[in-house]
Structure 1
Amino acid sequence: MKRILSILSLISLICCKAQTLPLNTSFFDIPNGAYIKDINNELNPYIGTYKANFNGSEVTLYITKQENKLEETGQKSYHVDVLNVKYIVTNSSGFILQDTKNNNVFNIQLYSTKIRQDKNLVHLIYSGTNCSVGWGNIYLKKINSTQLSWEYKPNDVTTTAAKCPPTLDTTIYLPETKDLIFTKQ
């Protein structure tokens, strides 16, 4: 029995050897297998449901905190706490144009990569819609406890869309704009 406990303790030590680091640790300073943790709860003020209207559409963001999200690059693998954003976009008649919250569209991802506490700013990466059309950067700036300012900078949409089969919907439903105010519900 003592031997089994010793072996289990050794395995536990080996498995728990992953280094825990704070958010915003430089990518180059993250060792393989590390855990980038929201130690100071910097992501928490952004969690919630937010709505905005833009060009006749209503956009609802569902922002949650996801702990231990696995990130794998060609260089390393590590875990990180992120803001995970799902959304629903409806037209003026209430018809759903795009729904990543309920439809579980796995190929569309929108999550945080950095937070600038000094500027109340979160940087998110967006995988884009079908064929990755509209992939790019989104910035959420915390204005106050109930409002976020939105900025979306898509990358080369025309070139990416041209590579898609013509039958796929390559419409970008997220607001391509700056300073759009989302209000917490």
Structure 2
Amino acid sequence: MNITKTKIVIVFILILSLVACKAQTLPLNTSLVDIPNNAYIKDTNNELIPYVGTYKANFNGNEIILYISKEDNKLEKRSTKQFYRDALVIKYLVKNSSGTILQDTQNNNVYNIELYSISTRPDQNMVHFFYSGTNCSVGWGRIMLKKISPTQLSWEYRPDDIVTTASKCPPTLDTKIYLPETKDLIFTKQ
């Protein structure tokens, strides 16, 4: 084989390798078991956009403000694989009736609190979120937001075992859950 043919074969193999290694793009609600490593779960039907915005509610004397944004290509690391997904990310601010800030995740990563979408239910106008909880993962669990009108969301928060998790945390850390532990709380778009 001459040098020119060898170069052509090498270029062909490189191009074929690049095409084969390109991440596969899949729809938003692809089951976790069907997601290959390094795939991209894309919001092809714009299901996430209607939830983006700033929303407020009051609960037990506290004002809760949700800042919901869409993040494209959010890296998701699991024990057996990693992939990328379009997701809604929630940052929030909780203030008591006198205006004192109880918890603020907007610009403060000290808490390392994560709250992001993991699936949608378009037939129910609902998005499911993973919540990492506060210090020591206290209150981690699932949050569901249901779009009930163009300006209102219904909130449901289902925390996991709070007592066991809190008991493993140093007593100097704040383990209070400031997000509303309730169902059917209405948040209004600002």
How high is the TM-score relative to the length of structure 2?
Answer: 0.90
Change (3 A) 1:64 1:74: same
Q: How does 1:51-70 map to 2 (within 5 A)?
A: 51-70=56-75
Mapped to 2, the partners of 1:11 and 1:104 lie a distance apart of 42
Mapped to 1, the partners of 2:105 and 2:17 lie a distance apart of 38
Q: Which runs of 5 or more structure 1 residues have no equivalent in the other structure?
A: none
C-alpha displacement at 1:107, in angstroms?
1.4
Q: Which runs of 5 or more structure 2 residues have no equivalent in the other structure?
A: 1-6
Find the counterpart in structure 1 of residue 154 from structure 2.
Answer: 149
Of the three residues 103, 107, 115, the one matched with 1:102 is 107
Mapped to 1, the partners of 2:68 and 2:166 lie a distance apart of 28
Determine whether 1:83 maps to 2:92.
no
Mapped to 2, the partners of 1:145 and 1:88 lie a distance apart of 22
Mapped to 2, the partners of 1:90 and 1:11 lie a distance apart of 56
Letter in structure 2 aligned against 1:71 = E
Find the counterpart in structure 1 of residue 188 from structure 2.
Answer: 183
Find the counterpart in structure 1 of residue 127 from structure 2.
Answer: 122
Q: Could you tell me the percent identity over the aligned residues?
A: 70
Mapped to 2, the partners of 1:48 and 1:25 lie a distance apart of 25
How high is the TM-score relative to the length of structure 1?
Answer: 0.93
Contact kept in structure 1, 2:111 and 2:134, CA below 8 Å: no
- SS of match in other structure, 1:41: coil
Change (3 A) 1:15 1:99: farther
Map Cα deviations across residues 31-89 of structure 1 (whole Å, 9 max, x no partner).
Answer: 11100000111100000000000000000000000010111111111100000000000
- SS of match in other structure, 2:33: helix
Contact kept in structure 1, 2:127 and 2:145, CA below 8 Å: yes
C-alpha displacement at 1:16, in angstroms?
6.0
Letter in structure 1 aligned against 2:173 = L
Mapped to 1, the partners of 2:68 and 2:123 lie a distance apart of 21
Find the counterpart in structure 1 of residue 48 from structure 2.
Answer: 43
Contact kept in structure 1, 2:111 and 2:135, CA below 8 Å: no
Mapped to 1, the partners of 2:63 and 2:158 lie a distance apart of 19
Find the counterpart in structure 1 of residue 4 from structure 2.
Answer: none
- SS of match in other structure, 2:106: coil
C-alpha displacement at 1:98, in angstroms?
0.2
- SS of match in other structure, 2:64: strand
Mapped to 1, the partners of 2:118 and 2:111 lie a distance apart of 18
Letter in structure 1 aligned against 2:105 = T
C-alpha displacement at 1:11, in angstroms?
8.6
RMSD (CA atoms): 1.8
**Structure 1: which 4+ aligned runs deviate by more than 2 Å?**
9-16
C-alpha displacement at 1:10, in angstroms?
2.7
Find the counterpart in structure 2 of residue 72 from structure 1.
Answer: 77
Determine whether 1:33 maps to 2:38.
yes
